[in-house]
Amino acid sequence: MSTPEQVAATRPTGGDEAIGSPRPTRGLRSDALRRLRRNPMAVVGFTLILIFVGVAVFAPWIAPYSPKDNSWLSEVRPGAYPGPSAEHWLGIDPLGRDVFSRLVYGARQSLLIGVVSLAVGATVGVGIGLLAGAFGGWVDTVVMRLVDIMLSVPGLLFAIAIAAMLGQSLTSVMIAIAVVNIPIFARLLRGEMLGQRAADYVLAARSLGISRAGIVFRHVLPNSFTPVIVQGTLTLALAIVEAAGLAFLGLSGSDPSAPEWGRMLTDAQVALTSAPQLALYPGLAIVLAALGFTLLGESLREALDPKLRR
């Protein structure tokens, strides 16, 4: 019988110990972060998001005028809208307001809707997915059929129905977008958890008498969460587009002067032939903000995908 010291001393020659990692301790997450920094797609996406969030947060300091100030109405003639100038960088809209200021404040609205609807949708969706994935069996069957029903209704139509039901307000837009996202998160997490439940390390944990809750929360859930993070990022992009869509359709609130990219598109409609740039600005803003989150989401997926890891 040998002491631990002997055991350690007699066997360091095998390839076994020699291959040990010489690098300092590092987790999977920081590994992914390193890969992310090297990916130009991620850097571009992150920069776009940074600009978007920065503009939203510092809107009052960036915008030269109030977004609702229509004191330049007198300068507007039907068919002739003042273009870019030193006072009004992006010109004046058909209702006599500063376009640049409205664009800047619009970022606020978009970010708010995106973040709140994501938070609500992801939380509820993850909860439902966790329920189905943790219990399986008939709980899974019942819950997932309900989710299937939610999923079978086209997203935008669903959102319009909810907005119509709850009345036109910012809150109903956020609820609508959140509800549309619930089944996506629920299905994603549930599927991932079912897959992980069959993993060897789960069998090993069960063979050690770990409780059911311990297995779900310490073993299965943390290993199933990566796609949820990726989906969350992509969902933000979608939420911004959906919010603009709902605003464009006039479902976003009772105050027609509220600065909103979707509503700016609506307002630009009357001037589309004479001043198409008025539609271009909010359109570009929507695309760039959504692109930022999409790029980051896609590169997150790549960075976290264990199949690409080596």
Partner 1 sequence: MSFLRVRDLTVTFTRPGQAPVRAVDGVTFDVGSGQSVGIVGESGSGKSVTSLAVMRLLPARNVQVTGSIELGDQDLLALSARQMRDVRGRDVAMIFQDPMTSLNPVLTVGRQLVEVIVRHDGRSVAEARRDAQALLERVGIPDPARRLREYPHQLSGGMRQRVMIAIAVACRPRLLIADEPTTALDVTIQAQILDLLRDLVEESGSALVMITHDLGVVAGLCERVHVMYSGRIVESAPATGLFARPAHPYTDGLLRSIPRIDDEERGMLHTIRGSVRDVVAWEHGCAFQPRCDHAVESCLGGPPPVHDLTGAPGHRVRCPRPVHPATPATGTGRSEGSA
Residues that bind partner 1 (CB under 8 A): 1-2, 4, 7-8, 11-12, 14-17, 19-21, 23, 25-28, 199-201, 203-211, 214, 218-219, 222-223, 306
**Chain centre distance of CA 98:** 29
Give residues with Cβ within 8 angstroms of 228, minimum separation 6: 122, 126, 185, 188, 189, 192
Judged by beta carbon, residue 164 or residue 203, the one nearer partner 1 is 203
Q: Rounded to 5 degrees, what angle do the CA atoms 187, 189, 193 make?
A: 115
* Nearest distance, CB of residue 209 and partner 1, angstroms: 4
Given CA atoms 249, 256, 264, 240 in this order, what sign does their dihedral have?
Answer: negative
Residue whose C-alpha is closest to residue 175's, from 235, 118, 236:
118
Q: What is the DSSP letter of 66?
A: -
* Nearest distance, CB of residue 86 and partner 1, angstroms: 56
* Nearest distance, CB of residue 3 and partner 1, angstroms: 9
Q: Scanning the structure block, which residue is given the tokens 């907005």?
A: 163
* Nearest distance, CB of residue 232 and partner 1, angstroms: 18
Judged by beta carbon, residue 4 or residue 78, the one nearer partner 1 is 4
| Phi, psi values for residue 79, rounded to 5° | 85, -5
Judged by beta carbon, residue 24 or residue 78, the one nearer partner 1 is 24
* Nearest distance, CB of residue 148 and partner 1, angstroms: 23
Judged by beta carbon, residue 78 or residue 200, the one nearer partner 1 is 200
Judged by beta carbon, residue 39 or residue 226, the one nearer partner 1 is 226
CA distances from 107 to 27, 62, 245, 268 (A): 35, 12, 15, 17
Judged by beta carbon, residue 119 or residue 199, the one nearer partner 1 is 199
| Rg of the chain on CA atoms, in Å | 26
* Nearest distance, CB of residue 146 and partner 1, angstroms: 23
Q: What length does the chain have?
A: 310
Judged by beta carbon, residue 22 or residue 78, the one nearer partner 1 is 22
* Nearest distance, CB of residue 224 and partner 1, angstroms: 10
Residues 148-168 as b/e (b if ≥16 CB within 10 A, e otherwise) read eebbeeebbebbbebbeeeeb
Give residues with Cβ within 8 angstroms of 290, minimum separation 6: 237, 238, 240, 241
